[in-house]
Structure 1
């Protein structure tokens, strides 16, 4: 059955989202990301103290593809 849609105002659509108006059978957004974090990263809370004298994050990655997104 056809969809009846009135006025639509789109302000923004992010890079990993889907915007659709009307009939649709299937929607499947895909994304992948790689995050490097060193010692003391991703801490949350009040009054956190992190003392790292000599911290290194090694980011060498020998393989070219980690999370392939294919067949979508």
Structure 2
């Protein structure tokens, strides 16, 4: 059954977000990211002490192609 929609104001939609008005069977938002981080980057908690002396993060990707996201229905 169709919907009757009045005025709509969209302020922001993220990179993997979906804005849809109307009938739909399936919606599949997909997003891929690659994260590079050094020693102790994702530590959380109280009173964490990280001793990494010298840290270097290698961001070189020699193959240039990563595994994609497979959409299955």
Q: Shared fold (TM-score greater than 0.5)?
A: yes
Higher mean Cα deviation, 41-50 or 59-68? Answer: 59-68
| 2:25 equivalent in structure 1 | 25
Task: Give deviations 1:22-47, integer Å, cap 9, x for gaps.
Answer: 11122111110111111111011121
Unpaired segments of 5 or more residues in structure 1? none
| Alignment: residue pair count | 72
TM-score (normalised: structure 2): 0.78
TM-score (normalised: structure 1): 0.79
How big is the shift at 1:7? Answer: 3.0
Higher mean Cα deviation, 14-23 or 53-62? Answer: 53-62
